[in-house]
Structure 1
Amino acid sequence: MNTHSLLLKMSCLAIAICTAQSSFADQPWSQDRQWLLGDWNGQRQQLEKDGYKFTAAMMSQSATNLDGGYNDDNAFKNAAQLALGANFDLEKIAGWKNTTANILITKRDGNALTLDRIKDPRSSALGNSQEIYGRGKIWRLTQAWVKTGFADNTVQFKIGRMGMSDDFNGSQCEFQNLLLCGGQLGKSIGSIWYNLPVGLWGTNIKYQFAPEWTLGVGVYEINPDNTKTDKDSDGFNLDMDHVKGATIPVELAWRPKLAAFNGLAGEYKVGALYSTAEANDIATAGKIHDGKHSFWLNTQQQLTQKDGDPKRGLFASFNAVINDKATTAVQSTQQLAFWYRGAFDSRPNDSIGLGVANYLVNDRYKDRQIATNTSRGYDQYDALAADYVPVQRDELNVELNYTYQWSPAVMLRPNLQYIHQPAGVKEVDDAWVAGLSMRVNF
């Protein structure tokens, strides 16, 4: 099937959803449908009241290159993720006060336009126009944890299998572009920081020592087995036979209602981590460091409110990461995003988003690439030589999107992305990408 045929089918699906009539309010595509497969004759809501909440969701992200990139031949790529989960309120079920348990199984599939068309194939990837892509096309046990609260729930303890950004360096995701979606650490230090869908053994404790302040600390395994992606990989592997060390994050969170923004809520977090696993020096072959570290800042603030509705108005976020210069190829990342939710009274749950994000490559890493090319006899970019190493600098990502929340069960997000210096290689043409995200809650 060619690109235009696939795009036409996606467009037809979007138009069909958007133009459906309200007379079908009891149908799966109705605008008040909480779940696509319905409420199971009322049993689903009753189960939630009893402490059993089941989830099933499919996320699809498609992208096509409009102009630029390493290969400007038009292509259409789709990536997808299936997530099946259950949450158990153990206070309702077993009388365990302030205790919940969660399990989540995921399966990813599909392909990435960035890898196929946008970046030089000889370069390591930085950004991705489809954030859902990555970590292999295998089934994974992504979450299996228990969390309990003490001291009037001001202290919360969590243990089990989980992703790190579930509890640290977390951020809002209103975009399809990788660096504009969620926590940033996994995008630059993925060898020690694992986000969804990867699950790993870990534990953390958070202490709310004042109404607006919380301090958290965690300990997570560094186990390469968790990130294997070949067809023989076991996404349900629970052993710790090949653990190389631990990642220890610490984060301070402040959640005020600022007078400067008419008492609107925000969240401001600063954090740091230390990895105890040995790390290779990024510039000197054979040099080993005892560990590595990173620092981060996450901020999110509602700037305006529309018609007294706290869910509507203008929101902003700024996120930044600074990595260990001795051991990390990406020295820092920065992200600034704005989204306005409920701009139209007829569409109170829709939003318009604009985000800008940047990867900054470590100068030491860049100098090593230049030295490698010099040793091979290259003094300038060679588009054809297989052994030429493209020199990476920084990559800028921009996305403009509209989130169409047809119902609680169905979301569509058409978007336009601009990538400056794909994979940080200045010789590769800037790229324009059109994308479409779709999420369905079953």
Structure 2
Amino acid sequence: MLPRFLNTACAWGVGIALSSLIGGAVHAADFPTKAAPLPYVDADDFWTRPYLFGDLGRTRLKEQGIDLGLTLGNETVGNLSGGDRNTAANAGQLWFGAKLDMAKLAGIPGGTVGLTLVQRFGDNLNTEAGIPALQLTNEVFGRGNIFRLTQLYYSQKLFNDQLELKGGRLPVGSDFFFGLCEFINLTFCGGQPGNIQGGYIYNWPVSQWAGVVHYNFAKDFQLSVGVYDANPNYLTTDDPTVYYLPGVPHSSPASGVLVPVELVWAPKGPLNGTWRFGGWYDSASTIDGGLPGIISTIPGTGGVPDQNLGDRRGRYGVYESILQRLTVDGPGAVGWYTFLNTTVADHRTSFQDYQIALGFRHTGTFSWRPQDEVGFAVGTTHVNSAALSPNAGGNEVPIEVWYGWQATGWLNLKFDAQYVINPGGRGYNAAGVKTDNAVVLGMRTEVHF
């Protein structure tokens, strides 16, 4: 059975890579792993140019104030052990982005209009293989295979860029938290607080009405504050104006506001970095499923539970995120980098109450391949000891390693391996049956059009 699975997984991987070359495309904020493509050069050829279809006039548009991006990303993964069965799954997303420089277009210095549209597709390996993991083993899956407005905002910089005011439809991770996504396991990807508090911190591609202030109060230091509409209707894949309980449709207004606060230190120089320290408060009154508590009912429904209400007022947490260059081993980006993320959510309301992730990446590992990279990471997600689960008090521990091959100027492939210890926290599935640790192989494809 295993050889047949390996042949199937390899065939799927090659098929996905080829389909990436002929399909449409886009570039998602939690998906990209490389720096933005280099500026288009008239003399470049098919293999070195940054875009599959060439410039197509985008350089001239950017000079006029219109910056466009189009990228396709796929993650193909399969488990060799763990879960109920060996199988493979693919998920991905299309991303279209546009930024309008209002100084060039309308004579408004410091003004920017941003637009991001995302279409996700595919399947969740954890579900397909029966792996009871807390974190996705193909992180790009999630929030519904639908077309979403991920960003639509206006940003205005004032006082020589010392102050930025931003408002519109925004994901929290666009302005707060750790935003890189260079790994396939969700533990090491995107806005970490949303990884363990996804019920009310909506990571990309979900957006909310929000207002954000960034204030550069000293050299290399920035203070940021945001206010986000905390409405669970943003998660729906149907009508976003109506919240549904089984058999009882009813209007569900915003359940509160989410307020993140973040201090950033961004040292410049050869060993540059970004150090984030912050916290958040959500005014909603509720707790995660799987924790003890009294759930309120909807008036007039005869006892139907209202998942928006509960007996715990307010939810909060703190986090740090460090992204730091460690060495300069050659020109440009060649060298070692590291990240360390820690998030702790309040014990009263959180089923998953902390997550830690440590990772390393090296760019230019081989002198003849200066854009190729290697990466390694280890992390842990903890289940609240008060949880009503056989996994209570346990830690899920993923380990991941990959090799990134910059095949052309517009195509990047990552060959990836994960080992997930104690999926679910102690390895128990929903039926209370102990499962094996999971071994997952995968490939990520990213194409810039």
TM-score class, shorter-chain normalisation, is 0.7 to 0.9
Q: Deviations over 1:254-280 (max 9, x none)?
A: 11248xxxx511111110111011123
Q: Which aligned pairs between 1:3-402 and structure 2 lie closer than 5 A?
A: 4-5=7-8, 7-8=10-11, 10-11=13-14, 30-40=46-56, 43-67=57-81, 69-71=82-84, 73-120=85-132, 126-229=134-237, 232-233=238-239, 242-257=253-268, 264-280=271-287, 282-286=291-295, 288-307=311-330, 309-365=331-387, 368-369=388-389, 393-402=394-403
- Measure the CA separation in 2 of the matches of 1:234 and 1:243: 11
Q: Is the 8 A contact 2:76 2:444 kept in 1?
A: yes
- Give the superposition deviation at 1:172: 2.4
Quote the Cα distance in structure 1 between the aligned partners of 2:413 and 2:266.
Answer: 30
- Write the distance in 1 (CA, Å) between the matches of 2:16 and 2:285: 50
Q: CA deviation at 1:338?
A: 0.1
For residue 234 of structure 1, report the CA deviation from its aligned partner: 5.1
Further displaced range: 108-117 or 135-144: 108-117
Question: How far apart in 2 are the matches of 1:151 and 1:391?
Answer: 51
Q: Distance in 2 between matches of 1:61 and 1:250?
A: 33
Amino acid at match of 1:31: W
Between the aligned partners of 1:391 and 1:323, the Cα distance in structure 2 is 16
Distance in 2 (alpha carbons) for counterparts of 1:150 and 1:312: 35
Contact 1:304 1:313 in 2 (8 A): yes
In structure 2, give the amino acid aligned to 1:305: V
Question: Closer, same or farther in 2 for the Cα pair 1:115/1:359, shift >3 Å?
Answer: same
Looking at structure 2, the residues matched to 284 and 16 of structure 1 have their Cα atoms a distance apart, in angstroms, of: 48
Matched residue of 2:61: which SS? helix
Residues 171/142 of structure 1: CA separation in 2 closer, same or farther (3 Å cut): closer
Greater helix percent: which structure?
1
- Structure 2 counterpart of 1:334, one-letter code: I
Superposed displacement of residue 16, structure 1: 12
Deviates more, 1:170-179 or 1:348-357: 170-179
- TM-aligned CA deviation for residue 119 of structure 1: 2.1
CA distance in 2, matches of 1:61, 1:27: 32
Q: Equivalents in 1 of 2:42, 2:17: separation in Å? A: 20
Q: Name the aligned partner's letter for residue 356 of structure 1.
A: V
- Identity rate of aligned residues, in percent? 30
Q: Tell me which amino acid in the other structure corresponds to 2:149.
A: L
Q: How far apart, in 2, do the equivalents of 1:191 and 1:168 lie? A: 17
Unaligned residue ranges in structure 1 (runs of 5+): 18-24, 371-389
TM-score for the superposition, normalised by structure 1 = 0.84
Structure 1 range deviating more: 268-277 or 344-353 = 344-353
| Aligned amino acid, residue 44 of structure 1 | R
Please, what is the CA RMSD of the aligned residues?
2.7
Number of equivalent positions: 397
Bigger drift between 281-290 and 338-347 goes to 281-290
Query: What per-residue deviation string (whole Å, max 9, x for no partner) do you get for residues 87-115 of structure 1?
Result: 11111111111111111111111101112
Please give the secondary structure, in 2, of the residue aligned with 1:244.
Answer: coil
Residue 405 to residue 268, structure 1, CA distance change in 2 (3 Å): same
AA paired with 2:260? P
Separation in 1, partners of 2:108, 2:125: 47
SS of residue matched to 2:225:
strand
Change (3 A) 1:106 1:362: same
Distance 1:228 1:116 in 2: 22
Q: 1:14: how far off?
A: 5.9
State how far apart, in whole Å, the 2-side matches of 1:16 and 1:50 are: 33
Give per-residue Cα distances to partners, 1:227-271, cap 9 Å, x unaligned: 013xx3459x9xx9621110000000111248xxxx511111110
CA distance in 1, matches of 2:220, 2:44: 41
Find the counterpart in structure 2 of residue 413 from structure 1.
Answer: 414
**1:27: Cα distance to partner?**
12
For 2:193, the aligned partner's letter is L
Question: Structure 1 CA distance, aligned partners of 2:443 and 2:319?
Answer: 30
> Residue 422 of structure 1: SS of its match in structure 2?
coil
**Cα drift, residue 171 of structure 1:** 3.3
| Equivalent residue number for residue 378 of structure 1 | none
1:360/1:391 Cα in 2 relative to 1: closer, same or farther (>3 Å)? closer
**Whole-Å separation in 1 of the counterparts to 2:74 and 2:264:** 32
SS at match of 2:105: helix
8 Å contact 1:28–1:38 — kept in the other structure? no
- 2-side partners of 1:143 and 1:267: how far apart? 23
- Aligned counterparts of 2:410 and 2:152: Cα–Cα separation in 1: 25
